Structure 1
């Protein structure tokens, strides 16, 4: 089958599906509307879908080795200001990262692979995943067996990318870390409150939290390997309700990101030690809760280059490789890539005019729907070629 030609024939349907997800955006782990829609569409296409944790899965093929195709489908908890006629009307959720495209393109790929099932030399397993933005979704589906029954041999995922660049560029990394780890942390400092006029009667959690904050910066400055990319950001500092009251507690929340496994282990351990011991120094306590724990996204070199070779076979105008990409953002597909050989790629979905001015996670961002047949064709073609 000429998958790109077929994807062009199905493009209106792909766009219709994309706009459904966009208008009915859901954020987080529980996505009832999206899951029902995906299951209905897969059933319509002749597949037999089932729930896997909070996501949806299905297979197509004839035994043999198994390739997992993954699409996240969650939105962000933010208002949309794109001005699009199919913008989400809730004012609370927005597909500002393009996951609506991922789900729609994988649905079309599933339809095409089902149409071509007799020619497949193995099995394609589909993974429609919630909660990538909160780094919960892939773990949830792994815990519920997405990599088993049938056991997955390799995995592939694409992510659309906005901006002022033409459609057709695919970006990947087969030689190093493509995306950084993410370890989100919540530090609750407990002290002893008092009237602001009598600080000697308190154990001031704000003072403790300030010292914790400064000490964490020193961990990065003096303990992180300068040859590695390491960062620690505290984005939330919350304490107190009145100017003349020293509170009982203060809260710090932040994120640690790195492109190196050893650096990740060091920074997470030292963050915990620093917070606990600094709090103890001033007579308080610190309780640390990890919000997210995702490793660096390191794609399998051989498998990634194999996928690149398959993509080069496609007769798609302006389909252009861009190797060696690396980003300090994070992606929970890394949990998959840590367990099976995997490839992850960005597909450009930008505009060269003013519509390309905004990046992902911006309320005004827009993605170019011309990427839809490209993504669907790449998924189906690469799956078929890998299995063959």
Structure 2
């Protein structure tokens, strides 16, 4: 039995109510007024001081400004998805859904904050609570860092977590390991312009679809023939948009996709080669091509020393059977990685209902559901890690 079990059990119904309220009012990006109102009301109720950061982030602080400082982070934003569950607390906002579990993350961080506030007199340092906007847009973490959340007092480590339903993890199982745990990513778009014409006379046109197909095929060679088979890298073209009718060669169109990787140098090489291939083939096939890249998101890499220091505290609270090195890395990405560019980080993936237990859908699906009991493990993990960092 963990030393926080009774406190967490007593708080659990409150956390469920908070989570369900957040789930019913999902908001996107940096526009989070209802979310902020809900979270700050809880912070005020428990006399946890906070400030609004850059318009839509919330930074709370517990403990003293002297001594070491650690930051616990949760993301807040939802996804532009129409919820298709039959939950009584399903989204009330059209085409918005907490399909990535950020409602649970926020409730978990509030729970951790409440327990830490109860122990504030014992803290030999500072614990910051960072409620971060716009994880899905990949700009929230950078904006919070630029606004100074890692300063005054200076943060020495950041801990984050993510609930994971619909896979192999049973509820409360935690992937705890050092090294890369989430992939880096770079989105890109290729705009192709040719010369439109009648479908009966392709010789009088310059077909952008034909050029795009050749480019698509050639891009596969970057992974297959230029990057080691031992090095994970995934390229996906998720959008291919050309033409609107069967007998017209369109003037232009676009394709877009992402690459994902566990080493920044692999990502940098791959995106450079993609642009070179696009440029060369466009010239050969007489089309104009514009290549646009989005945010270069680095991988999430758990710091070895921090992981070694904090995992024993989490294992002591939850049991060694619940916190293990599964040798599993996720190819999905997280802007939590930007904190890791500044200070040591530890990122935990927590089971929130396995496929074997009947949770058939995973993240970003309109029917995804989460086992709310995962919040108990999340709170325990964050509190024990924070106290372990402050060596209590």
What TM-score comes out, normalization by structure 2 length? 0.92
Match for residue 34 of structure 1?
35
Match for residue 325 of structure 1?
328
1:157 matches 2:156: no
1:98 matches 2:128: no
Contact 2:314 2:380 in 1 (8 A): no
Q: CA deviation at 1:31?
A: 1.8
Report the secondary structure of 2:307's partner residue.
helix
* Distance (Å, rounded) in 1 between the aligned partners of 2:246 and 2:232: 39
After superposition, the Cα gap between the structure-2 partners of 1:318 and 1:11, relative to the gap in structure 1 and judged at 3 Å, is farther
CA RMSD of aligned residues (A): 2.1
* Distance (Å, rounded) in 2 between the aligned partners of 1:87 and 1:373: 22
Match for residue 72 of structure 1?
75
Match for residue 172 of structure 2?
168
Matches within 5 A, 1:174-323: 174=178, 176-314=179-317, 319-323=322-326
The match for 2:133 among 124, 130, 133 is 130
Q: CA deviation at 1:94?
A: 1.9
The match for 2:60 among 42, 58, 61 is 58
Report the secondary structure of 1:159's partner residue.
strand
Q: CA deviation at 1:166?
A: 3.0
* Distance (Å, rounded) in 1 between the aligned partners of 2:189 and 2:233: 19
After superposition, the Cα gap between the structure-2 partners of 1:351 and 1:241, relative to the gap in structure 1 and judged at 3 Å, is closer
Q: 1:160-181: CA deviations, max 9, x gaps?
A: 111365323111221x321111
The match for 1:384 among 358, 368, 387 is 387
Q: CA deviation at 1:192?
A: 2.4
After superposition, the Cα gap between the structure-2 partners of 1:24 and 1:234, relative to the gap in structure 1 and judged at 3 Å, is same
* Distance (Å, rounded) in 2 between the aligned partners of 1:356 and 1:140: 34
For structure 1, which runs of at least 5 residues remain unmatched after alignment? Answer: none
* Distance (Å, rounded) in 1 between the aligned partners of 2:356 and 2:85: 15
Q: CA deviation at 1:217?
A: 0.9
After superposition, the Cα gap between the structure-2 partners of 1:288 and 1:4, relative to the gap in structure 1 and judged at 3 Å, is farther
Matches within 5 A, 1:319-358: 319-350=322-353, 355-358=358-361
After superposition, the Cα gap between the structure-2 partners of 1:362 and 1:354, relative to the gap in structure 1 and judged at 3 Å, is farther
Q: CA deviation at 1:239?
A: 1.1
